């Protein structure tokens, strides 16, 4: 039986990696700066592909490769989502307010 690559796992990991690394690009636009919905959509697409790839890897182990690398890439994708969520939704909310900074329309000293 010819073995083939499990591309779903690799595509899912690349989507998760793109969601993790692309915030600096999406932060240039006000629509995606306030809430990182584009990054979360990339993570969601990556999660779907990773789950599909894991079902293929363990459901048809003789056909698809990736019984070892599949769970490793899935865990890395989950860790990237967890770290991204921690930084975006917790750490960045802990930044103190900028008291003493000039308001919009005020002249700076």
pLDDT exceeds cutoff 90 at 107: no
Task: Please tell me whether the overall predicted TM-score, pTM, comes out greater than 0.75 for this model.
Answer: yes
SS3 call for 64: strand
11 in a structural domain: yes
99 in a structural domain: no
Mean of per-residue pLDDT scores for the chain: 89
106 in a structural domain: no
- Residue 101 tokens read as 């900074």
20 in a structural domain: yes
Tell me which DSSP letter residue 104 carries. T
- Residue 61 tokens read as 């182990």
107 in a structural domain: no
- Residue 16 tokens read as 């998760």
pLDDT at site 97: 80
Work out how many domains the chain is built from and give that number: 1
1 in a structural domain: no
pLDDT exceeds cutoff 90 at 68: no
């Amino acid at each position: 039986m010819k073995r083939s690559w499990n591309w779903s796992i690799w595509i899912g990991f690349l989507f998760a990696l793109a969601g993790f690394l692309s915030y600096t690009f999406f932060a240039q636009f006000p629509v995606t700066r306030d809430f990182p919905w584009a990054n979360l959509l990339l993570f969601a697409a990556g999660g779907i592909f990773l789950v599909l790839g894991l079902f293929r890897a363990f459901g048809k182990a003789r056909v698809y490769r990736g019984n070892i690398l599949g769970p490793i890439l899935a865990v890395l994708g989950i860790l990237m989502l967890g770290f991204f969520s921690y930084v975006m939704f917790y750490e960045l909310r802990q930044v103190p307010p900028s008291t003493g900074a000039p308001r919009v329309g005020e002249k700076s000293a």
